[in-house]
Amino acid sequence: MTTTLPAYDEVVARYEPVIGLETHVELGTNTKMWCGCPTDFGGEPNTRVCPVCLGLPGSLPVANKAAIEATIRIGLALNCSIAQWCRFARKNYFYPDMPKNFQISQYDEPLCFDGYLDVEVNGETVRIGIERVHLEEDTGKTLHVGGATGRIHGATESLVDYNRAGIPLVEIVTKPIPGTGALAPEVARAYVTELRDVLRSLGVSDVRMEEGSLRCDVNTSLNLPGEEWGTRTETKNVNSLRSVERAVRSEMLRQASVLDAGGRITQETRHFHEDTGDTTPGRSKETATDYRYFPEPDLVPLAPDPAWVAELKAALPELPRLHRRRLQQAWGLSDADMQSVLNAGAVELIEETVAAGATPAAARKWWLGELSRRANETGVELAEVGATPAQVAELQGLVDAGKLNDKLARAVLEGVVAGEGSPTEIMGARGLEVVSDTGALTAAVDEAIAANPEIAEKIRSGKVAAAGALVGAVMKTTRGQADAKTVRELILTRLS
């Protein structure tokens, strides 16, 4: 079926979108949620398992205190109330990657609830309501082998890896977000970005969307102005920040085309496809499983000590938004300049470079200039470009000490990115140091004077401006390594 999608501005002129986001975060605890198995990524299948996370008969869960602490800290960072008493609940459904055929989760008694997160979009602050933050366990991974599709139907064998089963997972659910109009896709992206930064600042997860430690489901609905909210769809498989924005936009366009044609939206799960930017239908919610939630009888209720919660609150790190504001002031940047630092993903890199001794201006120059250019060329994140903040600070130190000029510094940086060593090592190994030793330069100056008698004569007769040409000649023979100022002084002394 081919449908022509309406134009985006027409859609937002006719309809009002309501969005909502459900984010799953794998916590970076050392051990799993209910057992002592390690959580490290990438082990051979089924090597990070025990009777508990395999759900063997007789095994029992014991809650991981570090995971509870991390969840409370997330809740506090998102301005939530922390439950004084709450329980885990069983979510029952049959699926082979769930060892017990139920997931231990939380239902009507989440650990954290009723908070908010402020995000900035186009210089405006949008307050996103947080419905709940709760703790649950991750599932294993099923691999369907054989068959053409790699899907469960048609596969000849299904293999399950339980290494991931039982890793603590935090679910963060927003309240419905109405009133964002045309900005809905950007608001969604800004929220997930800000949330990711908050989680990173808390140090509770490595928040890598591509590895699945941060996963996002996006709810979208459209309604006519003044009417009730429309039926929503839930888009899954949204695995990057860019995809969050694209998924909302794509779903808004699709729903508008259905509504324009007089159709109705089915409440369903849809899958986002990175390659096409489209969503396709998954399971219909109208025939969804009854999860038969009930309080988990194998675990005692959680009753976090209010004094402990207060301690955790007092010890929260400065949150990214406030932190950024403070940095902007310290670095003396305009809003626009700060925005370009943010867009480049360079805040922490500049911060660490400054901490390693560089001035904010110099640090920003390197990260937003040469290094951003290289990152763009090679298609990697700035943080993965190959240079560390400490190396950049060291490089700038060499410039400040007069040992490198701008051109030489860029050559040294090339070596750093190529992994040849520290800036000082590369400078030595490649012989890139500025030559300011007058003895070594005198010969080059004399050579230049001898080769350009006419220019030399002009200088002797008082036309000092002509010295530039001789400096250029010396720089050429010394391959740029001479200190231009020293060269100029030598020429003038020789010809005075």
Partner 1 sequence: MTDITRMTATQIAELVASGETSAVEVTRAHLDRIAAVDGQVNAFLHVDSEGALAAAREVDARRSAGEELGPLAGVPVAVKDVLTTKGVPTTVGSKILEGWRPPYDSTIVQRLRAAGTVMLGKTNMDEFAMGSSTEYSAYGPTRNPWDTDRIPGGSGGGSAAALAAYEAPLAIGSDTGGSIRQPGAVTGTVGAKPTYGGTSRYGLVAFSSSLDTPGPCARTVLDAALLHEAIGGHDPRDSTSIPAPVPDVVAAAKLGATGDLSGVRLGIVSEFAGEGAEPGVLAAFHEAVDTLTKLGAEIVEVSCPHFRYALPAYYLIAPSECSSNLARFDGVRFGLRVGDDGNRSLEEVMSLTREAGFGAEVKRRIMIGTYALSSGYYDAYYGQAQKVRTLITRDFTAAFERVDALISPTTPFVAFPLGARTSDPYQMYLADLFTIPTNLYGGPGISVPCGLSDGLPVGLQVMAPTMADDRMYRVAAALESAVGTLTPPQL
* Cβ-based nearer residue to partner 1, 50 or 390: 50
* Cβ-based nearer residue to Zn ion, 6 or 99: 99
Read off the DSSP letter of residue 325.
H
Nearest approach, Cβ of residue 160 and partner 1 (Å): 7
* Cβ-based nearer residue to partner 1, 152 or 492: 152
* Cβ-based nearer residue to partner 1, 42 or 297: 297
Which two tokens mark 83?
Answer: 């439950």
Q: Is 240 exposed, middle or buried (0-12, 13-18, 19+ CB in 10 A)?
A: middle
Q: Does 53 bind Zn ion (CB under 5 A)?
A: yes
Interaction partner, residue 241 (partner 1, Zn ion, none; CB < 5-8 Å by kind): none
Q: Is 178 exposed, middle or buried (0-12, 13-18, 19+ CB in 10 A)?
A: middle
Contact residues: partner 1, CB under 8 A = 51, 54-63, 90, 92, 94, 96, 99-102, 152-153, 156, 158, 160, 290, 292-294, 297-300
Interaction partner, residue 53 (partner 1, Zn ion, none; CB < 5-8 Å by kind): Zn ion
Interaction partner, residue 294 (Zn ion, partner 1, none; CB < 5-8 Å by kind): partner 1
Cα separation, 208 vs 195, in Å, equals 12
Nearest approach, Cβ of residue 329 and Zn ion (Å): 48
Q: Does 67 bind Zn ion (CB under 5 A)?
A: no
Cα separation, 301 vs 295, in Å, equals 9
* Cβ-based nearer residue to Zn ion, 167 or 413: 167
- In degrees rounded to 5, what are phi and psi of residue 144? -100, 120
SS3 state of residue 118: strand
Nearest approach, Cβ of residue 149 and partner 1 (Å): 14
Cα separation, 285 vs 300, in Å, equals 32
Strand partners, 222: 17
Nearest approach, Cβ of residue 142 and Zn ion (Å): 18
Mask for 31-50, x = binds Zn ion (CB under 5 A):
----x-x------------x
Return the residue matching tokens 């063997």.
Answer: 56
Interaction partner, residue 331 (partner 1, Zn ion, none; CB < 5-8 Å by kind): none
291 neighbors 95 (Cβ within 8 angstroms): no
Side-chain half-sphere exposure of 14, counting CA atoms within 13 A: 14
Nearest approach, Cβ of residue 290 and partner 1 (Å): 5
How many residues can be counted in the chain?
Answer: 496
Which stretches of the chain bind Zn ion, using CB under 5 A?
35, 37, 50, 52-53
